[in-house]
Each structure stands twice: as structure tokens, then as C-alpha cells.
Amino acid sequence: MKDSFSLGSFLKKYRNDEACLEQIKEIKYPSGIFCEKCQGITNFTKIESRPVYQCSCGYQISPLAGTIFEKTTTPLQYWFYAIFVMSVTRSGVSAKQLQRELGVTYKTAWRIFKQIRVLMANSNNSGGILDGTVEVDETFVGGKGKNRAFKHNFNEIPKEVVMGMLERNGKVYLKHIPNTGKWTLLKQIQDNVSPKAQIYSDEWGGYIQLKHFGYNHKSVNHKSLEFVKGEVHTQNIEGVWSILKRGIYGVYRVVSKKYLQAYIDEYSWRYNNRGYQDKMFSRLLEEIANVKMLKAF
């Protein structure tokens, strides 16, 4: 049977905060720790009861400095567990669920997940522009209508627009955008898609400008029940919408406009790392070397 990085494997490897701190040190200093006093790579030893390592000359460093863990009072093992469950789930995990499992406050659980989504966003944005065959589409998330039966009391909360750009057999970019206007869509495509790419979309008129800006663009007409025309279709990006909406409505229930992009980044990160399976946890953890903390707590 193929070994998998299960919860049991996680608990054996990261059995306490010391093991977690050692892993952070290895990620931040893969070639060893440079001592500013000795001006070279030297042997650093862990100081008991503190997340700090010290050289024989007395120079000290903290692997947590400049990371999402800096100045945290929450056990590192809790952080690692939160990263683990965020990487292995397919639909997402609510902060309320993490609160129940770890016995922390809801505020702590929510902010841990907030910091982890920063790691995911950084990973998503480090892959360069999309090329080859790219499917583009938009969807609408959230919104709420109250008292529809009584027109004089009607109160509509507008839905938010999310645009998706997916490279077939590659990665996806999901962006929270203000509207579906042609210039808004064009700006996102110019920022994230190569001019040499073949773009497929539905019949939405917002993509009418693509050919005028040098893009090779073809579409299918969903209103006429045309969903596939040879290689032209948007079924892959529509599959992403299905996963995103099931996760948001099923797990998080309601996501505010302010934090919608962070939740979108979470689902696009899982899609972009779908081929790594048991390595998803380690890939996410390695991002701590590339991301500065948001705010200490």
C-alpha cells in the first residue's frame, strides 16, 4: 500500500512544538544559519523554553521572525495542524470547526486561517502568466434578496463577481472583480494571460474587445444550448465554479465582500496543487519562507 501523509503521519512527525520549530528552521535556513558576528555558517543550538537558536558566540536568531508565526502565543503544533487540515480538505474548513477541535477562541481560529490563506495567495501569484489554451468565464457569488413577495419592502444585496482564467492542464487564476464590463475583463486577461494564448469563452459580450487587442478568441453560445464546439468549451472553469460554490455555501455559508478574494485564493490554491496529493501540506508549509506576516497576535 502506498504511504500517504495521513493525520497519523502528521502527528508522528510534528508531535510537539519543538519538532514544528525545527521544521520552520529547516525551511528558512536550508543551507544553515549565517552568524552575523562570526560572518559564516555556524552551528546554532536551541535555547530551552524559547523559540530561539544561539551560536557559540552568543548571536541569536528566531526562525519565527518575519513569518506568519511571529510573536504568536498559539502553540506551533496548532498552527501546523491548521495548515494540515486546510491542505488535505477539498471543500474547506470553517474557523468554527477549528475552534472546536483545538479549543482556542473563534478569533484565534479565524486569524490562523486568515494567515494561511496569505500563504496560498502568494503561491498562486508566483506561477507567471497563463499560456496555451485558456478558458475564461465569470460567476456570481453571494447576494441576498429579502421580502421578494412584497415589492415595497424589497431589499436586494448584490452578488459579487468572480472572474476565472484557467490554462488547460495547468493552473487557474480566480479574481474578485467589480463588474463584468469589457474593459474590466480585458484588463484581467492582459495581466494574466499571454497574448499568444488561445482563449475560449461563452458568448458574453464583455469579451468582444479581445480580437482587437491581438488575442485569438473563440466562443460557444450557451444561450443557444451550445456547450461544446470541437475543442471550444468552458467546462473546466465551470467545474472550478462548482467546487468553489459548494465550498463557500456548504462550509462558510456567508463570505463578506472584504475577504472574498482570500477565500477564492484558498480554492484556487487547491486546484493548482491538485497533482501533488500527499505533498500539498509540505508545499504550503514551504511558503512561510516567502511570505511576511500580516499582523502579530
Encode pLDDT of 100-147 as tens digits: 999 999 999 999 999 999 999 998 888 789 999 999 999 999 876 554
What CATH number is associated with residue 244? Answer: 3.30.420.10
Same structural domain, 180 and 218: yes
Residue found under cell 419592502:
153
pLDDT in tens, 185-201: 999 999 999 999 999 99
Instruction: Classify residue 71: in a domain, yes or no.
Output: yes
**Alpha-carbon Rg of the chain, whole angstroms?**
23
Q: Mean of the pLDDT values across residues 16-22?
A: 95
Same structural domain, 222 and 251: yes
pLDDT of residue 97: 95
3-state secondary structure of 69: coil
Same structural domain, 157 and 237: yes
CA–CA separation, 74 vs 109, rounded Å?
10
Does 291 have pLDDT greater than 80? no
Residue 167: pLDDT band by 50, 70, 90 thresholds? very high
CA–CA separation, 21 vs 45, rounded Å?
12
pLDDT of residue 1: 42
- Chain-centre distance for alpha carbon 75: 23
Residue 296: pLDDT band by 50, 70, 90 thresholds? very low
Same structural domain, 87 and 155: no
Same structural domain, 28 and 140: no
C-alpha cell at position 142: 453571494
Instruction: Classify residue 232: in a domain, yes or no.
Output: yes
**Domain span holding position 104:** 7-124+276-289
Closest CA to 14 of 110, 100, 85: 85
Average pLDDT, the chain: 90
Instruction: Classify residue 1: in a domain, yes or no.
Output: no
Among the ranges given (22-26, 108-112, 142-146, 273-277), the one the predictor scored with the smallest mean pLDDT = 142-146
Instruction: Classify residue 117: in a domain, yes or no.
Output: yes
Range list of H helices, the chain? 7-13, 17-28, 76-88, 95-102, 106-124, 182-192, 235-247, 260-272, 280-285
Residue 297: pLDDT band by 50, 70, 90 thresholds? very low
Q: Which residue has the higher pLDDT, 64 or 4?
A: 64
Instruction: Classify residue 201: in a domain, yes or no.
Output: yes
Share of the chain above pLDDT 90, in %: 72
Instruction: Classify residue 23: in a domain, yes or no.
Output: yes
Same structural domain, 195 and 247: yes
Same structural domain, 163 and 181: yes
Instruction: Classify residue 14: in a domain, yes or no.
Output: yes
pLDDT of residue 5: 83
Instruction: Classify residue 263: in a domain, yes or no.
Output: no
Domain count, the chain: 2
Residues near 84 by beta carbon (within 8 Å), at least 6 away in sequence? 7, 10, 281
Same structural domain, 137 and 242: yes
Among the ranges given (17-21, 75-79, 89-93), the one the predictor scored with the smallest mean pLDDT = 89-93
- Chain-centre distance for alpha carbon 187: 22
